[in-house]
Amino acid sequence: MKSAFSETASLVGRITIDPVVCHGKPVVRGLRYPVESLLEYLAGGDSFEDVLSEFPDLEREDLQACNQFATQSLKHQSRQWVAATGPARVLG
């Protein structure tokens, strides 16, 4: 049985960053599909099925990897913001 950690690592492993592919932006499996673009489709209301039918060389796990990559990136950025600005304060 896979742990949640190993499954997450496996999904995020589908995201590659190469300076010669899409100007170094994170892409899915080196296929020149930027994570950012795929997330924009999903944020715009397209379902996984819509995106997969539009781009048949993608797999469901690729889209899950995009979501996981974005989640991990936000967690990392949030930690940096807190470290840079100090603890959050409630105003009001």
The answer to whether residue 42 sits within a structural domain is yes
The answer to whether residue 58 sits within a structural domain is yes
Q: Domains in the chain: how many in total?
A: 1
| pLDDT, mean over the chain | 84
The answer to whether residue 89 sits within a structural domain is no
Q: What pLDDT was estimated at residue 88?
A: 57
User: What pLDDT, in 10s, does the model give residues 52-75?
Assistant: 999 999 999 999 999 999 999 888
Structure tokens at 42: 């999903």
The answer to whether residue 24 sits within a structural domain is yes
The answer to whether residue 78 sits within a structural domain is no
The boundaries of the domain holding residue 58 are 4-72
* Contact status, residue 27 vs residue 33, Cβ threshold 8 Å: yes
The pTM for the full model equals 0.74
pLDDT greater than 80 at residue 3 = no
Q: What pLDDT was estimated at residue 76?
A: 72
In this structure, what are the phi and psi dihedrals at residue 15, rounded to the nearest 5 degrees? -90, 130
The answer to whether residue 39 sits within a structural domain is yes
| CATH number of the domain that residue 35 is part of | 1.10.10.10
User: What pLDDT, in 10s, does the model give residues 38-55?
Assistant: 999 999 999 999 999 999
The answer to whether residue 83 sits within a structural domain is no
